[in-house]
Structure 1
Amino acid sequence: MGAQPSDQGQVPLLEAPLTVIDWGRLRSNETQEGKKLLEACEGQGFFYLDLSCDESFLQDWKAVLAFMNRYFHLELSAKMKDDRKSDTHGYEPVATSTGAVNSLPDYYESLKEASRDELLGNTSALAPDVRDNHALFLRFCSTAHKVFMTILRQLDDYLGLDDQSKLVRFHREDRESLTTLSMFRYPKQESLDMGVGHNKHTDIGTLTFLLCEQWGLQVLSKDPVGWRYVAPKSNHAVINVGDTLRFLSGNRFRSAVHRVIPTRGLQHEDRYSIAYFLRAENDIQFTDSTGRQVSAKTWHDEKFNVFRETHEEQEKLPILTGGMERMESLVV
């Protein structure tokens, strides 16, 4: 159980009952951890991953946070030099998309480090500050990627998939994908005039590896039904299923709807989160939530476009939330 915010008073926050999986046991192929993984992907679609066994990665986590603290406190004009008008790399200022409250935009800024392909190649598409810390980010992403490949292999084994249907086959390292690392800052705010939080959505890709030490993330829980906070846990990542994994599994796995919203109306401190998004090869085909056959890249591009639509337009199509609300008749 994560500690409640110190200034929350006597009002308890409703927490999501998420499974905790031990990374050391999972990578050692312990049967019990594999079963817990399968059940978590079929159930809430969210789970904690205990990283306590990997001290070097925890140190890299601290180093990335230190980088974020430096970078996001630069003058806006300096950060805008990294604006690539891209969904996969570069800087993006606050109030770019719709937010967690109707009629208001979001209230976070982000630095998308670049696609994994660009990071591996150390290309000029990387922001200069990222290139200056290339070894750190390469180590960080390599560990997150190793976690994901282990998870996919475990799921392949439990599902008994043939060679052509194995999940790892859709994530070959020699094929182009939009796998990326993104860093987010939700700035301390004095009023709601500029926006609030991060709008409800399901993630685009296969799996998300999320690190955050502060409250704000909520998942639309299946049992019990309703919005529940994902409590921050020391030395733990939060892993969640994305749309692509749900589609590739024939809807067996659940891509849960989630959002970021301040616990007390306003963001009373800077909130930092780090997300490594595993995405399938660009040309992989699947049946989406509207029944169409689309490629992983098409789904990615279309969904990012919907993020920038008005709340009214978003409600008309089952894209932003991956069709999950309609499929499960969840009330938000």
Structure 2
Amino acid sequence: MGSISEPILKLETIDLALLEASDPSERQRLVQACKNQGFLYLNLASNPQLVEDWGTVLNFMVEYFAKGTEEKMQDARGSDTYGYEPVATSTGAVEGLPDYYESLKASHDGLRWDHTKLAPTVAQHYDLFRRFTDSANKALQAILRELDLALGRSPSHSFQSFHSVEQPSLSTLAMFRYPMQDSVDVGVGHNKHTDLGTLTFLLCQSPGLQVLSNKPAGWQYVAPKAQCAIINVGDTLRFLSGNLLRSAVHRVMPVDKLQRDHRYSIAYFLRAENGTEFTDSIGRSVSAKAWHDEKFDVFRESHADQAKRAILTGGMEQNEVLLY
């Protein structure tokens, strides 16, 4: 899978069991991690079913993505929240080149209510994906609850109050493969961005994720850690917190400059209810759904057009020195 020779970012490891028990010390460590780097490890050892499902989903991905493109395109739905998407759909991590990953997605709403939106392959494994997303969602809800307690947010304006599982949202399970390459001319990685939603629950077993760190400054790799998810703050949580919590710019780059082996990652993106309003990175009042839709549109723009507005990186790259 390649070894990391570049700088590696040191992150706090937060224990899920202690968060669920509302341990005060762990709560404070969580808040500091969300304020400082905006990334952390979440130890999942207390949830063996979730760890087991991680392996099962990964096995499914290996088999699924090995299929021919024509067969996988039968799951394509032209959507940012469900279905298959081939490589080179958006701009990539290197100027002038497209991305080089493919994905299969299942929306949280589709798994809960509207099963007609699910790609046929996802529907065939419904119980696994529903259980997996419910577990990831529960872990992220525990993080939101502890952040609410630590920051003294009132019940009516708590982070949790904007994330009812009974209300429509664009929360999504996404499975990614970065295929092995013979040449980078076809595309590279995943373009720099901040996540548009609230919190991201990421599982991966091989390196490639890089964070634009503030201390130390510059691009730093995040090393995978056994039985741990990588959690990061998204734009929505940053905006709802009044910019107190940090949504860090990140990207995916091959560790050996060329993707020499298939790289797989699983992400559950927790997003606020569609009608949630906040002030975005350029001072507008927008809804969670509007921010989602616009940001995905920007992903598909040229690098030159992306640089004109503080959308893709949430204003964080431009304000790195000023804010931090």
- TM normalised by structure 2 equals 0.97
Tell me the secondary structure at the aligned position of residue 157 of structure 1: helix
1:36 aligns with 2:36: no
Cα distance in structure 2, aligned partners of 1:205 and 1:118: 18
Tell me the secondary structure at the aligned position of residue 215 of structure 1: coil
1:14 aligns with 2:7: yes
Question: What is the one-letter code of the residue matched to 2:90?
Answer: S
Q: Deviation digits for residues 1-39 of structure 1, max 9, x if unmatched?
A: xxxx6x54xx83211111100111111111111011100
Q: Deviation digits for residues 175-210 of structure 1, max 9, x if unmatched?
A: 110001000000000001210000000001000000
Cα distance in structure 2, aligned partners of 1:34 and 1:163: 18
In the alignment, which of 120, 126, 131 is matched to residue 139 of structure 1? 131
Q: What is the match of residue 70 of structure 1?
A: 63
Q: What is the match of residue 43 of structure 2?
A: 50
Tell me the secondary structure at the aligned position of residue 130 of structure 2: helix
Q: What is the match of residue 247 of structure 2?
A: 255
Root mean square deviation, CA, Å: 1.1
Contact 2:94-2:191 at 8 Å conserved across structures = yes
Deviation at 1:327, TM superposition (A): 1.5
What is the number of equivalent residue pairs in this alignment?
322
Contact 1:211-1:274 at 8 Å conserved across structures = yes
Deviation at 1:163, TM superposition (A): 2.0
Deviation at 1:41, TM superposition (A): 0.7
Deviation at 1:121, TM superposition (A): 2.2
In the alignment, which of 225, 242, 264 is matched to residue 233 of structure 1? 225
Contact 1:179-1:279 at 8 Å conserved across structures = yes
Cα distance in structure 1, aligned partners of 2:160 and 2:46: 25
Cα distance in structure 2, aligned partners of 1:153 and 1:288: 23
Cα distance in structure 2, aligned partners of 1:130 and 1:44: 34
Question: What is the one-letter code of the residue matched to 1:38?
Answer: V
Contact 2:207-2:224 at 8 Å conserved across structures = yes
Cα distance in structure 2, aligned partners of 1:237 and 1:13: 21
Question: What is the one-letter code of the residue matched to 1:101?
Answer: V
In the alignment, which of 114, 119, 122 is matched to residue 111 of structure 2? 119
Contact 1:122-1:134 at 8 Å conserved across structures = no
Tell me the secondary structure at the aligned position of residue 165 of structure 2: coil
1:292 aligns with 2:284: yes
Aligned ranges 1:89-168 → 2 under 5 Å: 89-113=82-106, 115-121=107-113, 123-168=115-160
Question: What is the one-letter code of the residue matched to 1:253?
Answer: L
1:170 aligns with 2:151: no
Contact 1:47-1:239 at 8 Å conserved across structures = yes
Contact 1:218-1:259 at 8 Å conserved across structures = yes
5+ long unaligned stretches in structure 2: none
Question: What is the one-letter code of the residue matched to 2:117?
Answer: A
1:201 aligns with 2:183: no
Cα distance in structure 1, aligned partners of 2:165 and 2:6: 41
In the alignment, which of 164, 171, 175 is matched to residue 183 of structure 1? 175
Deviation at 1:123, TM superposition (A): 0.9
Cα distance in structure 2, aligned partners of 1:214 and 1:227: 17
Question: What is the one-letter code of the residue matched to 2:115?
Answer: T
Contact 1:110-1:185 at 8 Å conserved across structures = yes
Question: What is the one-letter code of the residue matched to 2:16?
Answer: W
Deviation at 1:162, TM superposition (A): 1.4
Q: What is the match of residue 222 of structure 1?
A: 214
Question: What is the one-letter code of the residue matched to 1:191?
Answer: S
Cα distance in structure 2, aligned partners of 1:328 and 1:193: 31
Contact 1:204-1:243 at 8 Å conserved across structures = yes
Q: Deviation digits for residues 277-326 of structure 1, max 9, x if unmatched?
A: 00001011100000000000000000000000000000000000000011
Deviation at 1:129, TM superposition (A): 1.4
Cα distance in structure 1, aligned partners of 2:276 and 2:23: 31
Moved over 4 A (4+): none
Identity across the alignment (%): 57
Contact 1:204-1:303 at 8 Å conserved across structures = yes
Q: Deviation digits for residues 230-276 of structure 1, max 9, x if unmatched?
A: 00111110000000000000000000000000011100000000000
